[in-house]
Structure 1
Amino acid sequence: MIRQRIKDGTYPPRTRVPSVLQLQEEFGIAGMTAHKVHRALRAEGLIYTEPGLGSYVSKDPA
């Protein structure tokens, strides 16, 4: 779902994506699953994380 929102422009480049806690609340998933979502999106180059600030859509999401 987050991947699709990035690709369709719902989350434009350099905008913040939902935090792990927000993913848990919105989708009713476990914390570990939400962490896996962030990790997978980072591995794909779709998001980057600024420590202490949050995760953002990459400038040029693939």
Structure 2
Amino acid sequence: MIEWEADRPRWEQIADVIRERIADGTYPPRTRVPSVQQLVAEYGVAVDTAQKVLARLRDDGTLYTVRGLGSFVADSPPRA
């Protein structure tokens, strides 16, 4: 669990954790990241929140999704 910052949306904080894990090599390029259900279980958030995390990371080019397989780290994630 993470300590939630009251002034920042939870989806944004979880997205930052995933970005940190990508940066430190926990999730190397082309590696699958946790699914919506895994994010719900790990962080105790709603499905909508977990979906928003993955959507935002896709939108900014950090992840890509393969239908039926999941979301994966892009070869060259954008720098923060």
Q: What TM-score does the superposition give when structure 1 sets the normalisation length?
A: 0.95
Distance 2:23 2:71 in 1: 16
CA radius of gyration, larger in: 2
Alignment RMSD: 0.7
Higher relative contact order (CA 8 A, sep 6+): 1
In percent, how many aligned pairs have the same letter?
A: 60
Match of 1:30 among 6, 25, 46: 46
What runs of 5+ residues in structure 1 fail to find an aligned partner?
A: none
Partner residue in 2 for 1:40: 56
What runs of 5+ residues in structure 2 fail to find an aligned partner?
A: 1-16
What is the number of equivalent residue pairs in this alignment?
62
Q: What TM-score does the superposition give when structure 2 sets the normalisation length?
A: 0.74
Provide, for residues 7-49 of structure 1, a one-character-per-residue CA deviation record: whole Å limited to 9, x for no partner: 2211000000000000000011110000000001001100000
Q: Which amino acid aligns with 2:55?
A: R
